[in-house]
Amino acid sequence: MEELYKIAKLVTKSVNLSLVLPIANSRYGKEDALYDGIKKGIYSSDEDAARSLYNSSPNDVRYKMLKHRLKKKLLNNLLFLDYSKLGSKGYFVKDQACLLMLQQAYILKLNYEFDVVLSLVSKILTIAEEYDFTNHKVAALELSVACYSEKGQLKQFNKTLTDFEMALKKRNLEFRAINMFQSVSVNLKKSVTARKRLLPNIPGMLRTLEELWHEAKTFATFEAYYKTSISYYELTGSFDKIVEMTVNAGKWVEEGIINPLRFESNYNKFIIVYAHLRNKDYANGLVYAEKFSMAFKEGFLNWFAYMENYFLLSMHSNQLSLSEILLHKVFTNSSFHKISNTAKERWSLYQMYYRVLSLNSHTSKEVFINPYNLSLPEYSKDKLGFNVAILILQFIYFLQKEDSEALLYRIESLKKYILTHLKDTFSLRSKTFLRLLILTVTEDFNVDACRSKGKKLYLKLIDTPTPGDAYAEIEIVPYEHLWEHILSILEKQAT
């Protein structure tokens, strides 16, 4: 039922409904009833549908045959999708247009309509050249070679065969590059251990990918090199290299080195802002964030993701007035309820960190949610995510309340968390900062003692670089800023 629902939803949204399930002799049959029931959400399971239509179970042969016929018709109608209704990107629409014309051309070739085939091939090649679709170029030229052979046109045959062989060579280079990228990608989706094992091999793969791009000069080979480079630099924490790669990519598009019709400009803009944040180049990051903000349509999922990086840049730059504006934009957006629960939880954390740091927040204290009651976001076992951010927020909350009993209890939890989860070198910043938190309690909240005895840990924190994204605990606010904020709390409490 789930498979049928997905296909029906796609077809209903994008196909002229007169082409779907035409009602024979103006009668409303069981196929129509099943289709309508799925489309309108009346049938949520096979049991519901079978009981309604046949007063039987899903194992009824009549119901199984009905499902089979409906699925076949719906799949056939996928050929008539209107991609403009789906909001598909321009290059995807052209890609599908080429596929449709190729299918038509193959059918016509089997029926010996060679002139019509060559007419279609000419259109395919025009689009393939404009959008750098090497795969479609190869398929179209292969059809041309076959047609000229059948028509006995030797001159056109020889010329087209040469073009076909050149296109095929480029396509083979693309296959190598794409397969190499896919190999890296699939390994990065596994555990941290798998990623670490892959790391030493990636520099050699990057050199090969760059060579393949320069040899083939196609968009597909560039994209494989570009995306693999970003993944590698992110893993190693080389965010300055990501900045260099993404800025260069923007220039290459402008210079025509990369096909602008295929290049994901918004993705590149997103990564530029993200890389500046992780590279701690906050000033330039904010310049880019503001410059690119209009490229992301408000309320769309990628806009919310973009705003996260924009907000974090403002917090790391200590521009709290900007942070407040960005928070207001996000929380008042009518599409906020559509984002995932994990994303909502992150935004709640961001909001609470803003409230902790802001001296001029207009939010009443009654609205402040006790962070201790927050459930931890669900992340993979080998990625810490926001756990430390929540522990820190809980600690600051109790520190502001001057609840020494709760803080004494918390330091035992912090010590246990350090021993259990922060054993690797990439956790050094989080480990160091949690030790500073423990110090505030062991020094009985004496600001002078905390500042003096914490100086060594604080300097160690400054000298410890942010690790790559694959391993990094998230710092919503730089730990250095949070330590200064904690000392200011202790100072106020001492007066």
For 167-182, write each residue's pLDDT tens digit: 999 999 999 999 999 9
Question: How much is the pLDDT for 468?
Answer: 58
- pLDDT for res 287: 96
The pLDDT of 342-350, averaged and rounded, is: 89
Show which of 362, 387, 422 is a domain's final residue. 362
Contact 7, 75 (CB under 8 A): yes
pLDDT at position 194 is 79
Domain span at residue 482 reads 370-495
CB distance 136 to 127 below 8 Å = yes
Q: Are residues 323 and 211 in the same domain?
A: no
One domain, residues 131 and 51 = no
Q: How far apart are CA 471 and CA 426, in angstroms?
A: 6
Question: Looking at the structure, do residues 388 and 494 belong to the same domain, yes or no?
Answer: yes
385 pLDDT exceeds 80? no
> Which whole number is the average pLDDT over 108-123?
92
Question: Do 295 and 187 sit in the same domain of this protein?
Answer: no
Percent of the chain exceeding pLDDT 90 equals 58
Phi, then psi, of 469 in degrees rounded to 5: -65, -30
Whether the per-residue pLDDT at 363 is higher than 90: the answer is no
Alpha-helix runs per DSSP H in 297-427: 301-316, 320-331, 341-357, 387-400, 404-421
Could you tell me if 315 and 436 lie in one domain?
Answer: no
pLDDT at 78: 79
Q: What single letter denotes the amino acid at residue 484?
A: E
CB < 8 Å & 24+ apart, contacts of 417-424: 417/387, 417/388, 417/391, 421/384, 421/387, 422/388, 424/471
Residue-wise pLDDT for 427-438, tens only, equals: 888 899 999 999
**Mean pLDDT computed over 275-285:** 93
Question: How long is the chain?
Answer: 495
- Sequential DSSP letters for 444-489: TT-HHHHHHHTHHHHHHHHHSPPPPTTTPPP-SS-HHHHHHHHHHH
| Range name among 103-117, 211-225, 297-311 with the lowest pLDDT average | 103-117
Note whether 358 and 377 are same-domain residues: no
SS (H, E, C) 384-416: CCCHHHHHHHHHHHHHHCCCHHHHHHHHHHHHH
- Between the alpha carbon of residue 440 and those of residues 314, 338, 358, 411, 447, the distances in Å are 28, 41, 22, 10, 8
Say how far apart CA 145 and CA 158 lie, in whole Å. Answer: 8
Q: Rounded to an integer, what distance in angstroms lies between the CA atom of residue 142 and that of residue 138?
A: 6
163: in domain = no
- Is residue 161 included in any domain, yes or no? no
In a domain, 273, yes or no: no
Answer yes or no: do 286 and 318 share one domain: yes
Note whether 275 and 256 are within 8 A (CB). no
Is residue 393 located within the same domain as residue 486? yes
Rounded Cα distance, 228 and 219, in Å: 14
The domain boundary residue, chosen from 230, 263, 296: 263
Q: What is the mean pLDDT of residues 132-161?
A: 97
Contact present, 135 and 171 (Cβ < 8 Å)? yes
Six-digit token pair at 26? 């103006």
pLDDT score of 387: 81
Which residue intervals of 111-201 are DSSP H helices? 114-131, 134-151, 154-188, 192-198
Amino acid 23: pLDDT: 45
Residues 229 and 289 in one domain: no
Residue 234 is predicted with a pLDDT of 87
255 and 139 assigned to the same domain: no
179 part of a folded domain: yes
Judged by DSSP in three states, 417 sits in helix
358 and 375, same structural domain?
A: no
What is d(CA 8, CA 78) in angstroms, rounded to the nearest whole number?
10
pLDDT for the residue numbered 366: 43
Considering the chain, what is the average pLDDT of its residues? 86
Domain tally, the chain: 5
Measuring CA to CA, which residue among 327, 365, 366, 364 is closest to residue 349? Answer: 327
User: 120, 152, 184: which is the final residue of a domain?
Assistant: 152
The string of DSSP letters for 68-132 reads HHHHHHHHHHGGG--HHHHT--HHHHHHHHHHHHHHHHHHHHHTT-HHHHHHHHHHHHHHHHHHT
Query: Residue 269 domain-assigned?
Result: no
Q: Is residue 409 part of a domain?
A: yes
220, part of any domain: yes
In a domain, 16, yes or no: yes
Same domain, 345 and 380: no
Under 8 Å between Cβ of 417 and 473: no
